[in-house]
Chains A and B, each alone.
Chain A
Amino acid sequence: MPEIQLPASLRDVEPVRSVRTPAQLDYTFTAGDATSRFLRGITQKKIIGQQATPQSKVYVPPRGADPELGAATPIEVEVAQVGTVTSFCVVNLQFYGSGMEIPYTSALILLDGADLSIMHLIQEIPADQVRIGMRVEAVWRDDADIEPTLESIKWFRPTGEPDDVNVRIPGEKRGTGLGSWVGGVAPTELVVRNPRTGVGGTEADGGEG
């Protein structure tokens, strides 16, 4: 390589090894039919899940399809605005791009009547007092500030009801887990009930056991 002659003013400067080039991406997001219907409910301060059949799981927020059935979810079901904390995390880490003040508690909340937890903020209780099984309720923004976004719920706060000490996430209902080996035996797809055929699962799930 030819030797580069730097002007005197740059001779003692540290060589540049990298350069920071911030990237930005502006995009238009199409919510789609299922999410649009859900968000229209939010503007009415209603939380409306969707299901594929009257017996199948209620999805909140809905994605338009039930992944177990591989079917669209045309049936709308309003779920409660109270639910149970199934698990949570206290975030103490500030990072680039996050607008959240730390620490904050994000929780998985299973609303009464829904079959899938949503992630939302827990407030109005010290972080170290949040518990799995704690009953919480939605706190909405002022009516004038309600928009078609889940951020229209500011956070969830304790209801003061007794904890639901028996709350379980799906796999745990079996006391072990869907992906547990019991007695050294691997699970099979049959641990989950096939909603189309009714084969598999436990009797509690409506399966054959």
Chain B
Amino acid sequence: MGHERVAVVGIGQTKHEATRGDVSVAGLLREAAQRALADAEMTWTDVDAVVIGKAPDFFEGVMMPELFLADALGCTGKPMFRVHTAGSVGGSTAIVASQLISAGIHERVLTVAFEKQSESEAMWALSLPIPFTPPLHAGAGGYFAPHIRSYIRRAKAPDHIGMLVALKDRQNGLKNPYAHLHEHDISFDSIKESMMLWDPIRYAETCPSSDGACALVLGSEKVADEAKAQGRTPAWVQGTAMRSEPTLSAERDTVLPLGGALCAADVYRQAGITNPRKDVDAVEMYVPFSWFEPMWLENLGFAEPGEGWKMTEAGATAMDGDLPVNMSGGVLCTNPIGASGMLRFAEAAMQVRGTAGEHQIDGVRKAVGHAYGGGSQFFAMWVVGTEKP
């Protein structure tokens, strides 16, 4: 991190749906960005720079969409960047935006991340044939299912844990008016009876395909102090970290990647967190398939090896548990892929600002936002809090 303090002073997101046929890609982004600007009591002209993020261009079939989005996002005459780190991009986009302020370059940065999955087919885009290789790839689920199976075996976890995560997140999502899925009739049995898509991943333990965008307005210390003086609580960025690792290394743990743990350790050190389970009040982590909750609980230092699933089973990660996880309903309720990481970061900031509405946890002072991408090889995290770092 640079030397200047940074805070989240505006948050906006779209209503997420399977198909937002009422708006173009540009319209989708403007919906989120205008809400974030309104929340920050700013207009387009107040913004110094814009940082955009999305997942692979094949997900809409539009190459370099940031170029045609420049005018719609008020970038004319201003610096504009596009970030891409696969599924973790929403998180790394927010981090790049924060660095423009922490480096002392800008005062007010708008950052927007999106995906409009209805305009193409991500499953196809993730399964393009690799030359000289059998065409076995079956989207993200096909890639992650063997690694989930490895976790279940390694941690000796019972089969129902994944279903408990799906039930909790879908129920949390009912409290979030922006969430894509509002499954009022969801039950443990309905999850258990849903189709096994990529054994051991069931349909109801899988994220949906969503259209949606998320936007944040980040401000310098001066901007955030002014917001606070006017009664709008800033969420101070207390730490940011990113890590990458090679996909095909013989010495890579695909279940609990070293890069994920190093990313967490780095961001906790910056934020003064010595005992993650005790010091963190709420977590939004990237859980596109239910089993990733216990896996990330272990990878992010909230649980000992093989104990993550026990936290889930005991209800520790529920809204009324000692470490609420995915209060918004998480990726399991809403997955506009490029925006999914930023939605995690945004929810952490909403919890700190006390603006999460029905899914607000009382008294959140420190919250973690987490995203991962690729074959569990890109990681982005931030810690936001009520106190200046």
Contact = CB atoms under 8 A, between A and B. Distances in A.
Contact of A132 (B149, B256, B261, B305): B149
Contacts of B139: 93, 95
Given A63-B248, A68-B249, A179-B258, A89 B132 contact: no
Given A35-B132, A59-B250, A186 B305 contact: no
Contacts of B134: 119-121, 150-151, 153
B336 to A, nearest CB: 17
Contacts of A23: 61
Contacts of B76: none
Given A89-B198, A95-B138, A187 B251 contact: no
Nearest to B303: A181
A164 interface: no
B275 A96 contact: no
Nearest to A22: B61
A149 B198 contact: no
Contact of B133 (A63, A132, A149): A149
B131 interface: yes
B196 interface: yes
Nearest to B144: A89
B153 A132 contact: yes
Contacts of B128: 97
A100 to B, nearest CB: 6
B257 A95 contact: no
B256 A178 contact: yes
Contacts of B248: 59, 63, 67, 116
Contacts of B246: 67
Interface residues of A, number: 64
A95 B124 contact: yes
B298 A91 contact: no
Interface residues of B, number: 58
A84 interface: no
Interface in B283-331: 298-299, 301, 303-306
B305 A182 contact: yes
B154 interface: yes
A169 interface: yes
Nearest to A148: B132
A148 B248 CA distance: 21
Contacts of A98: 127, 135, 138
A149 B246 CA distance: 24
B387 interface: no
Given A106-B136, A106-B138, A179 B251 contact: no
Contacts of B257: 178-179
Q: 8 closest pairs, A vs B, by CB?
A: A171-B253, A177-B256, A186-B265, A89-B145, A87-B146, A179-B256, A90-B199, A178-B253
18 contacts: A18-B118, A88-B149, A89-B198, A116-B250, A132-B149, A132-B150, A132-B153, A149-B132, A151-B134, A170-B251, A171-B253, A177-B154, A177-B253, A179-B253, A179-B262, A183-B304, A184-B304, A188-B265
Given A177-B298, A180-B304, 13 more contacts: A67-B248, A87-B146, A88-B146, A91-B197, A106-B142, A119-B134, A170-B252, A170-B253, A171-B252, A171-B254, A179-B262, A181-B298, A188-B265
Interface of B: 21, 61, 118-119, 121, 123-124, 127-128, 131-136, 138-139, 141-142, 145-147, 149-150, 153-154, 195-199, 246, 248-262, 264-265, 268, 275, 298-299, 301, 303-306
